[in-house]
């Protein structure tokens, strides 16, 4: 994401990271979620159905929820996290590869794209989390 970050993208990333923090989840959950948004939307809340009926930061399909829900960063993040936790019980998502978890949740036609974004996602979480969680 070097050279692509804007105030808008940082704001979108902050909302995703805050949603994971507000649930009391390990920061790794935020890394998984951010890696997913990097791949799916370049960390932009896309309000136009460009790819089928996908919307929002996570490019969630209509089966995930209403358009309004999928465009709400907090709702969309929580929907992503809910599915992640269902698929990886007992916090097993904490030790599985970032890309594996993201792919399991998203069921993408391009499964290899998530893991390569894990490093950038980690940098974003490390940078933004202190401003979400406070001193």
CA dihedral 88, 91, 93, 94 (to 10 degrees): -170
The closest alpha carbon to 3, from 61, 42, 46, 30, belongs to: 42
pTM: 0.95
Model pLDDT, residue 1: 64
Residue 91 within a domain: yes
State which residues form the domain around 86.
Answer: 7-133
pLDDT score recorded for residue 133: 75
* pLDDT value for 4: 84
> Does residue 79 belong to any structural domain of this protein?
yes
CA dist., res. 83 & res. 95, Å (int): 16
Whole-number Cα distances in Å, 89 to 5, 34, 42: 33, 20, 28
Segment-wise mean pLDDT, segments of 10 residues, the chain, 135 residues: 87 98 98 98 93 92 96 98 98 98 96 97 97 77
Number of domains in the chain: 1
Give DSSP secondary structure letters for 38-60.
Answer: HHHHSS--B-S--STT-BBTTTB
64 falls within a domain? yes
In a domain, 81, yes or no: yes
Q: How far is CA 102 from the centre of its chain?
A: 8
* Residue 62 resides in a domain: yes
pLDDT at 83: 98
């Amino acid at each position: 994401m070097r050279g692509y970050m804007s105030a808008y993208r940082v704001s979108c990333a902050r909302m995703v990271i805050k949603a994971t923090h507000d649930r009391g989840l390990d920061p790794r959950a935020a890394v998984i979620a951010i890696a997913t948004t990097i791949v799916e939307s370049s960390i932009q809340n896309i309000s136009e159905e460009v790819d089928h009926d996908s919307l929002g930061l996570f490019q969630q399909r209509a089966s995930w929820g209403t358009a309004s829900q999928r465009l709400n960063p907090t709702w969309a993040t929580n929907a992503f996290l809910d599915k992640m936790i269902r698929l990886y019980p007992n916090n097993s998502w904490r030790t599985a590869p970032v890309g594996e978890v993201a792919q399991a949740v998203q069921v993408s036609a391009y499964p290899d794209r998530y893991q390569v974004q894990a490093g950038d996602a980690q940098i974003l979480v490390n940078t933004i989390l202190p401003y979400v969680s406070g001193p």
